[in-house]
Every structure is written in C-alpha cells, then in structure tokens.
Structure 1
Amino acid sequence: MDLANKQFLMELLQTPSPSGQEMLIQHKWIHYVKPFADEIRTDHAGNAIGVLNPNAPFKVLLAGHCDEIALVINRIDENGYLFFDKVGGINEKAAVGMMVTVIGYNGIRTGVIGVNAQHHGGLKDGFGLEDLFIDCGYKTKQEAEQEVQIGDLIVYKRNPELLNNQYIAGRGLDNRTGAFIVAEVLRRVKELGCQVGVYAASTVNEETNLGGAYFAASAIEPTMAIACDVTFATDYPGVNKNKYGDVQLEKGPVLAKGAPINIKMNQLLESTAKELAISLQYELTPRMTGTDADKMRLTGKGVPVALVSLPLRYMHSPVETVSIKDIADEIELLAQMIAKLTGKESLNPLEK
C-alpha cells in the first residue's frame, strides 16, 4: 500500500460505523471509490457499491462489511448515567474502563464506562453489560435527555495505531479492513483491465443480521460472490491451536473450506496465488461461514460463493490487530484473479 491508500484506511478506521448507522463511513467510501468506478450504486439497506463494466453478463460481487460492533443506550437513570445493551458481539470484559463515543441524536458526546473501584469491592464475578454504565458528566436525566436518547449508538473511543510499522491495531478492523480491501481491489482491477463486471460492495449490518449482503446480492444477481472478512488469528499466547487451527499474521489470506464454499472458486484463487507466490492459509466452515457469504449464497437462484479472510488478532476487542502485508497480498490476489476471468468460466463443480 502506498501512503495515500494507508491514509484512507486509517480514515475509515477512525470513522464511527456502528451496525445500523453506517452512513458517515459510506459517504467517505463513495468519495474515495468514485474516481475509478464506472458507476456508484446505493440501496435502501445503506450499501455502497462501486461498479466496473456494468453491462458485462458475468458479474463478480465482492462484499466487505463496513459496520462495527457497538453499544446501544437502553436506559438513562435519574442521575444521568447511561445504561446499555450490545449491538453485535461485544465482549463485556473488554468494555470495562473504556472511553466511548456516544452518537447522540443531538451531537457526538464522549463518555467513560465506569467501574466500581477495587477498594469498594470491584466488579462481581460473572458480571454482564447490565452491571456497567456510561458517565458523560451529566448530573440529571433531564440534562442527559437534551443530548442522548434510548436507541442512540456508542462505539469505543479508540484511534488506530501502527505497531512496529507492520501491523495496524484498533477497534473495528472487523471489518472496515474488508470495506477497504474491496475498494482497493476495484481500483487495482481498473488498472489491470478486465472482461467481467465487478461490483465492490461496502455492505452494512453484517455484525447484526447480514441484511446488507442480502440486499446487494439480490439486486445484482452475481455470477459469483466473494466475502472479504476477517478470521481468527491463533498466533498469540493462550490460544489452543489444536482446537482453533493455526492461522498467523503475515502468512497470507485465509481461504474457507466447507459445504458453503464453491470448490472451483477456491481453485481459481489457489492457482492465482501460486502464480503470484502469495502464501495462503485455510479455515474450516463445515456448515455456515458466519459472514456475508451465507446470505449472498442464498439469493436468487443461488450464488456460488467463496470467503477470503484477513487474519486478525484479538477479535471483537478495542485492539484488533492485522498485518499490512496480508492486506496488500489479499488485494493483489483478488484483483489478479478477477483480471484473468474471461466470463466463460463454469463454476459448476460437476463440470470439467
């Protein structure tokens, strides 16, 4: 990645995009993609889609979701403290003591997730989100309600950081890195040239209901679809690799294998990786993938899907960590594979 592209990724990672309220990040994504896309499309779900060769009958859909896990206000007490529930897979243990950004109906506010001092007994064993609260400095419920209300969303107040100039750490790399990757694949395919239609979608709602992917695939009716998400790296202390597999940062993109995945699409990706000398890793998805691929696969008459994932440490924490090299490798792998397509490929596993 050159500096300009890295700056765009950092901008995405600094932009709040809680699931269900992705508008701000989508406007930034559209602004970036517009100069090299033939078309920009949006839909009622809130997806943003950059298109190359919109008239080509063979259509490749790339989906990288831009939404992040979040919190949502469910009660305001008489002293102005905010209580909350989860939007997506929030880890309550990681939330303790964090600063947060409250996206209030009347403006953005900063708060802290308060925690009972250890001197006063600390948190009880087995605590949940219902035991935590947010302090924005309000003194009364009436004061708080001038700025926030039930249903307002909250994200951790955490900026992305470079680690040893090789890794990026921060909140919501799951999966704003994916939204970045599909944008960059579109830009790279534009440079390389291609014979097929390419639809790069920054999808919404993946962390909560996968609805954005369903909207996108239903409207586009792709010939093939690739979900670009993250997966669990297991290369740090305390992880049972016998149980969770061996996935490492800087060892390349991760291909899913399992019943939902089209074998021929994986073969295309593997042959391209071999030509480019890009190393690949694998994960198993025997029943479902838990990603946008699941919804895209079941639209229309059925869509062949693949899942290409970025190894990520510390999933659903405020310090998710990925490798810049893996991002670059995934972009080149996908772009080169798409650029080689003639539009005559059969994805039927029973045909040679």
Structure 2
Amino acid sequence: MEERHRAFLDELLATATPSGFETAGQRVFVDYLEEYADEVRTDAYGNAVAVHEGDPAVDCSVVLAGHGDEIGLMVRDVTDDGFLKLTRVGGADRTVTRGQYVTVHGSDGPVPGVVGQTAIHLRDHDDDTQSDIAEMHVDIGAVDETEAREHVEVGDPITFDTSVQDLEGSLVAARGMDNRTGVWTAAEGFRRAVERDADATVYAVSTVQEEVGRNGAKMVGYDLDPDVAIAADVTHATDTPESPGDKGSGIELGEGPVVGRGSANHPVVVKAVRTVADDAGVDVQLSAAGSDTGTDAESFYTSRAGVASLNLAIPNRYMHTPVEVIDTEDLDEVGELMGRFAARAASFAPFSVEV
C-alpha cells in the first residue's frame, strides 16, 4: 500500500465516529476525495457523496459505499459521586468493555477516562458472569457530580482509546476497522475509477448510522437512485483457534475480497464482479448470505423500485472489539476491484434478472 493511501487509512482510524456523531470522519473522507471528484456534497444527516460525472451519453450510475460510523458507548447518567453510567451505541461487546481506556467526546473537547473493573482480589470467584454495559461505569477522575458535569453531559458519545498497531507482515490492528476499511475502499475504488476515466456516473459514499439500523444508506439510496450499488463492509474471518466450528465460514485474512451470494446480493452483479476479478487476476472468497447480509446492501437493494446491490467484504478478525485485525493486502484488492468494476459497469448493464 502506498504511503499516502496508508496515511488516509490511519487518519480514518484515528478519528472517532460513533453512530450519530460521524462529522469528523466524514470531513476526512470529503477532504481526501475533493481533488478527484467533480462534486462533493453532504446531506441533512451528514452522508457524504463524491461524484464523478462520467460520459453524459452513458446511462449508468454506480454507488461505491462504506459506512462511516462505528460502535461505541454513550453517557446515560452521572452519579452523585461523579461516575458516568453507560448505554450502548450500536453493538458494543460487554465482554471486552471493562478495564479499557476511553475518550468521552464532550462539547468542550475530549475527556479521558477508564471503564471501571473490580479487582480480581475483590470479586466473587464463584461468579464469573459478565455484567451488562448498563451496569458499568466510566471514571473520569471527578470528585462528584458537579465536577463531572463541568466536563461531560448526558448523550456525549464515548469511544475506546486505542492506537493503530502494525502486526507481522501486512496485518494491522485497531478499533473501528468496522468500517473505516469500507470507507477507505469506497474512496479508493472511486479514485481508481476516475483514473480509468469511467464512462458511468460513479458515486463514492460514506454513509452514517449503519450500526444503528443502516439508516444513512436508506437516505442515499433513495436520493441517488443508482443502477448498481456496492456496499463495502467487513466480514468475519474465522481463521483463529477460538472461532466456533458451527459458524466457520472458511474466510481467511490475506485470501482476498469476499463476494457475497444470496439475499441482497444481485446475481448479475455477483457474476460481473467475479468476471472483473478473474480478468484482473484478483482471487476472491465467497460468503453465503441466506437471509441478510447485515450491511448497507440491505438498504440499497430495497430503495425505490430496487437497486442491484452487492456486499463486497474485507476479512476481519475480532469484530466489534478494540483490536480488530485486517490484512492491508485484502484492503487494497477490494479497493482495486471496486475501481475496476465501476470503470466497466456500463458494459454489464442492465442489472436485471431474466425470468
């Protein structure tokens, strides 16, 4: 991965964007794409859209999308003693929440804190049950409620305070790979489609609030009404020792992009993307989505009268934890595949099944 492209990824990963509070990350996306796009715009809730106008004589439009939000926590209440009570933002995992450094994103700036954990010496050794997040608290060091409320208020979002870590080879660990990687590939796919002078109209989109109902994609799908949409998101790499055998997918890090099949994944788009991958020498993995992809593809494909959609995924270990792990080679190949598909999309149209 080139240095400037890695710098873009690192900036995305360093920027906190819990659902409903995505503005800072959307600005990173917009700033990166402004030099490549004919237009960049945002809507009422902050969905960000970059536009490549293509050839006016070609009636085909493509959305390359990733969701810009991440899971997190939120201040639910402040106790008399100055501790912060919590609620979830999206699917936060209670089993990895205690004992973590966090940042409370207050209106006057970031406030450091920790999620408290009773010391092992003081816990009941016969009771190893996991507390719900609603029973946990953040300690910001305040002596009482009055001091705490000088820094935070109810509704402030909270994210884990972690750094990006390079592991061996091309593996990288960080919080929020879900779905900074999808945003990165949507932006990179767009840039590469523009460099190939795509005939189709191409949109790069960073959607909001996927983690709390795939809401941003509903807005964007209705607004843009594209012919085809590729939703880039992470999927579970089940190549670790503790992955449940009955939920194994065969998906591995370093083995390439993951093409979804079934449910929202349109068969014509699936075939087209696989053809593009074969022609480019990009190996792909397949995933089975029997009823739901769990991604923005669900919102795109039911928009208006229906949009031919595909979930194109990046393998990810330890999803919804502060230490998600991806392979940057997979990431680069997903971006390349999206760019190549967008540049050739008009040749595969119309995206409709024959009955």
Instruction: Tell which deviates more after alignment, 213-222 or 125-134.
Output: 125-134
Q: Is the 8 A contact 2:235 2:316 kept in 1?
A: yes
Equivalent residue number for residue 159 of structure 1: 163
Equivalent residue number for residue 314 of structure 2: 310
CA deviation after TM superposition for structure 1 residue 344, in Å: 6.5
Q: Is the 8 A contact 1:45 1:211 kept in 2?
A: no
What SS is found at the alignment partner of 1:311?
strand
AA in 2 matched with 1:20: G
* CA deviation profile, 1:3-43 (whole Å, cap 9, x unmatched): 01101100110000000000011111111110001110211
Equivalent residue number for residue 9 of structure 1: 9
What SS is found at the alignment partner of 2:158?
strand
2:182 to 178, 192, 210: 178
CA deviation after TM superposition for structure 1 residue 241, in Å: 4.1
2:99 to 74, 97, 100: 97
Equivalent residue number for residue 294 of structure 2: 290
Q: Is the 8 A contact 1:58 1:343 kept in 2?
A: no
CA deviation after TM superposition for structure 1 residue 220, in Å: 0.4
**Equivalent-residue separation in structure 2 for 1:33 and 1:241 (angstroms):** 41
CA deviation after TM superposition for structure 1 residue 244, in Å: 2.6
**Equivalent-residue separation in structure 2 for 1:330 and 1:144 (angstroms):** 44
**Equivalent-residue separation in structure 2 for 1:132 and 1:100 (angstroms):** 13
Instruction: Tell which deviates more after alignment, 335-344 or 271-280.
Output: 335-344
**Equivalent-residue separation in structure 1 for 2:145 and 2:169 (angstroms):** 45
Q: Is the 8 A contact 2:86 2:135 kept in 1?
A: no
RMSD: 1.4
2:259 to 238, 251, 255: 255
AA in 1 matched with 2:314: L
CA deviation after TM superposition for structure 1 residue 146, in Å: 1.1
**Equivalent-residue separation in structure 2 for 1:66 and 1:130 (angstroms):** 25
AA in 2 matched with 1:244: G
Name structure 1 gaps, 5 residues minimum: none
CA deviation after TM superposition for structure 1 residue 259, in Å: 2.4
Equivalent residue number for residue 349 of structure 2: 345
Aligned pairs (5 A) from 1:54-133: 57-121=59-123, 125-133=129-137
Equivalent residue number for residue 20 of structure 2: 20
Q: Is the 8 A contact 2:263 2:289 kept in 1?
A: yes
The answer to whether 1:36 aligns with 2:36 is yes
AA in 1 matched with 2:14: Q
AA in 2 matched with 1:9: L
Distance of aligned partners of 1:344 and 1:6 in 2 relative to their CA distance in 1, 3 Å threshold = closer
Equivalent residue number for residue 319 of structure 1: 323
Q: Is the 8 A contact 2:64 2:190 kept in 1?
A: no
What number of residue pairs does the alignment pair up?
351
* CA deviation profile, 1:312-340 (whole Å, cap 9, x unmatched): 00010000000010011111111112212
**Equivalent-residue separation in structure 2 for 1:342 and 1:207 (angstroms):** 31
AA in 2 matched with 1:48: A
**Equivalent-residue separation in structure 1 for 2:302 and 2:44 (angstroms):** 19
2:235 to 224, 231, 256: 231
CA deviation after TM superposition for structure 1 residue 242, in Å: 4.4
AA in 1 matched with 2:265: I
What SS is found at the alignment partner of 1:169?
strand
Name structure 2 gaps, 5 residues minimum: none
What SS is found at the alignment partner of 1:35?
coil
AA in 1 matched with 2:113: G
Equivalent residue number for residue 46 of structure 2: 46
Q: Is the 8 A contact 1:195 1:343 kept in 2?
A: no
The answer to whether 1:264 aligns with 2:268 is yes
The answer to whether 1:206 aligns with 2:206 is no
**Equivalent-residue separation in structure 1 for 2:283 and 2:84 (angstroms):** 47
What TM-score comes out, normalization by structure 2 length?
0.96
